[in-house]
A and B are shown apart, each in its own frame.
Chain A
Amino acid sequence: MGRQGLSLNELVVMRGGRSVLDGLTLSVPAGHIYALLGGNGAGKSTALFATLGLLPVMSGQVLVDGKDPAEEPDAVRAAIAYLSETVALYEHLTARENVDYFLSLANQSRTNAEIVEAFAQVRLDPTAQDQRLSAFSKGMRQKTAIALALLRKTPVLLLDEPTTGLDPQATQDFHALLLDLKASDVAILMVTHDLLGAVDVADTIGLIIDGKLASQWQAQSTLPRFDLQALYGAFTQARAGNTPV
């Protein structure tokens, strides 16, 4: 059976007595990039935490490669590579040691050739691989994290604000990596504020407002892929607190 991607169905998550997700529904098939946009506090990161099984779901269902995190949390976590906004790696370890460490946490091991190939794939300078992360730029850290995601070979990749703090070239390189991962049938859910970045790589863009999917746009097969004016209008209205029509 092929990869089944990720789906959230009528998801309700409560935090601090209020609904942070209020019936969120979206689907990310294998080999697909879904960009979830929304303002601060709209519920974007909560959707990722619920997918990882780190938050209890009041109602609705999450399915990760066909598995429900409420029933099989470890199997679901094994199927997900997650990149947090802060690129959560260890400063005192080298890029190589970070990769080894996190692979070990996931109970996985890769050959030296595979690791070298992953670093080459993310275009991380070979001389940097044995340097401590404390000397890395955010772009280099991001590449290290993506190399780890490649090596994890998971069917689902969750990204939390992945391009925050990246310069344009680094953002472009990062998008290229995402497209590589997409090509290898990975389902990618990316929550972001970066509308233009989402337009560049996403197959679907969803706009979340108050925990609900307010609008959703599919990429066109011809350029321009998205109606940027409509997207921008909806996004700015959402940030201003008005639900777009």
Chain B
Amino acid sequence: MKHVWREINFLVRQRASVWAIALLAGLAALSVGLGLQEVARQKAAMSEVIALQKKDTAAIKVFATDAGDAAYYRFHPTWDPPSALAFAALGQRDIAPSTLRIRALALEGQIYENEAQNPELALPGRFDFAFVLIYLAPLVLVVLFYDLWSGEREAGRLSSLQAVPKAWVRIWLPRVAARFGLVSSVLVVVFWGGALISGAGIGDTIAFTALILALLGFWTLIATWVAKGAGSSPTNAAVLATIWFVITLIAPAGSNLVINAATPIPDGAAIMRENREAVHDAWDIDRDATLQRFYKLYPEYATSPPMQRPFEWKWYYAFQHLGDQQVEPLSTAYRAGIVEREARAGLVALALPPIAIQRALYRIAGTDMSAQWDYQDRIRAYHTQLRTYYYPFLFSAKPFTSADFDAAPAYAPR
């Protein structure tokens, strides 16, 4: 250990190394700060939506005296609170909605309506801790490692150092450990600071820390392997930069293109459009036929009396649900396609450790695709709760009171 301490002291005497590590520390701290700020913003937005919805609901309650009006005018907020570690790996949270106000109308259009806003958010991406770890920290390791051997050779010191007894134990391994240790310490300390502030659980924090060390360990091995070779310092720097470029940018982007081409999926906006069209077309379809199709799905309401007026809410909500039914195959195909793409991306990640680690970070932070599906599943389940809550009032002529308005199911986040 004394050799490692000596090499740490030696390393911090080198101005370029200090600058590289200080820059990394600054960027990591900035990313954690921005991550915490973004999580706070999301939480504040959720609180605001919930508070405003309460006001809106109170206003609707004044005039929505029957179940049809209540279900039509009343929005119900749903939200996906960020996990305590979301600050470090925002993942899908910047491109997928974390709040959604829904009504008991056709759901698919409401879900996919949000997709229209997302590409502009996806373009720049988020500057979060995971970005610093996956993309920037390896570059700092490259700066610290590329001339570890070649620099000594070029300065004429290599033979003197190799002439030291047990040179690997006393010089080279301590030098590798010092660089790995300094970069790891900087990132882990900054991350722990963020985890402490956000109140993250110890288990997740340890798992996240293990992934940080695994990623830095991977790049340390690569950098040591290249630096140990016979190449000159500029050659080693170029080789390491190329490896970084291929592993972190070219290979993931290329495999993403291949996966997307190999696994076509319906457009989310198309699902919304078809859902809307199905609902709008229903106005021109025979009402009784629509109701009969609905009663096949909900036979408990088949005894509901025939429509007496040109418009009745029960018919309206029946065709809303049938609109969802109509696009269900498309929606299922969309989800199956995304799941398939995810599975294939997971296979690619097996060959690209940094990408595998990035996916694991998002998983632990609850910001990966599965977390988004989980939120969407909750929305769907909640929507079903809402519909089936209103159905008895609509189809069985059950009286709808002020208390019933208040008793509508509330969304329960994870």
Q: Which residues of A come within 8 Å of B, CB atoms?
A: 49, 52, 54, 73-75, 77-78, 80, 82-90, 92-93, 97, 101, 104-107
B6 contact set on A, CB distance < 8 A = 101, 104
B164 proximal to A (CB < 8 A): yes
Report B311-322 CB contacts with A as 1/0, cut-off 8 Å.
000000000000
Which residue of chain B is the closest to A52 with respect to CB atoms? B163
Report B376-411 CB contacts with A as 1/0, cut-off 8 Å.
000000000000000000000000000000000000
- Is there contact, CB below 8 Å, between A80 and B10? no
B166 proximal to A (CB < 8 A): yes
Docked complex Cα distance between A14 and B31 (Å)? 55
Docked complex Cα distance between A86 and B154 (Å)? 10
B41 proximal to A (CB < 8 A): no
B163 contact set on A, CB distance < 8 A = 52, 54, 77, 80, 82
Interface centre among B2, B10, B164 (most CB of A within 10 A): B164
A104 contact set on B, CB distance < 8 A = 2-3, 6
Docked complex Cα distance between A73 and B166 (Å)? 9
- Is there contact, CB below 8 Å, between A75 and B14? no
- Chain B residues 356-387 with CB under 8 Å of chain A are none
- Is there contact, CB below 8 Å, between A74 and B166? yes
Docked complex Cα distance between A85 and B13 (Å)? 25
Docked complex Cα distance between A52 and B165 (Å)? 10
- Is there contact, CB below 8 Å, between B165 and A82? no
- Is there contact, CB below 8 Å, between A88 and B155? yes
Q: A52-B163, A93-B13 are in contact. List 11 more A-B contacts (CB 8 A).
A: A52-B159, A54-B159, A54-B162, A54-B163, A77-B165, A84-B157, A86-B156, A88-B158, A92-B13, A92-B14, A93-B10
- Is there contact, CB below 8 Å, between B165 and A78? yes
The 9 lowest CB-CB distance pairs between A and B, nearest first, are: A86-B156, A88-B157, A88-B160, A74-B165, A77-B165, A78-B165, A52-B163, A82-B163, A105-B164
A49 contact set on B, CB distance < 8 A = 159
A77 contact set on B, CB distance < 8 A = 163-165
**When A101-B6, A104-B6, A107-B170 are in contact, do A88 and B165 touch as well, CB less than 8 Å?**
no
Rounded to whole Å, the gap between the CB of B159 and the closest CB of chain A is 6
B211 proximal to A (CB < 8 A): no
**When A75-B165, A101-B10, A104-B6 are in contact, do A85 and B156 touch as well, CB less than 8 Å?**
yes
- Is there contact, CB below 8 Å, between A105 and B170? yes
Interface centre among B2, B156, B163, B165 (most CB of A within 10 A): B163
**When A84-B157, A88-B157 are in contact, do A107 and B13 touch as well, CB less than 8 Å?**
no
Rounded to whole Å, the gap between the CB of A133 and the closest CB of chain B is 11
Report B139-172 CB contacts with A as 1/0, cut-off 8 Å.
0000000000000000111111111111000110
Rounded to whole Å, the gap between the CB of A89 and the closest CB of chain B is 8
- Is there contact, CB below 8 Å, between B165 and A107? yes
B162 contact set on A, CB distance < 8 A = 52, 54
A54 contact set on B, CB distance < 8 A = 159, 162-163
Which residue of chain B is the closest to A86 with respect to CB atoms? B156
Which residue of chain A is the closest to B164 with respect to CB atoms? A105
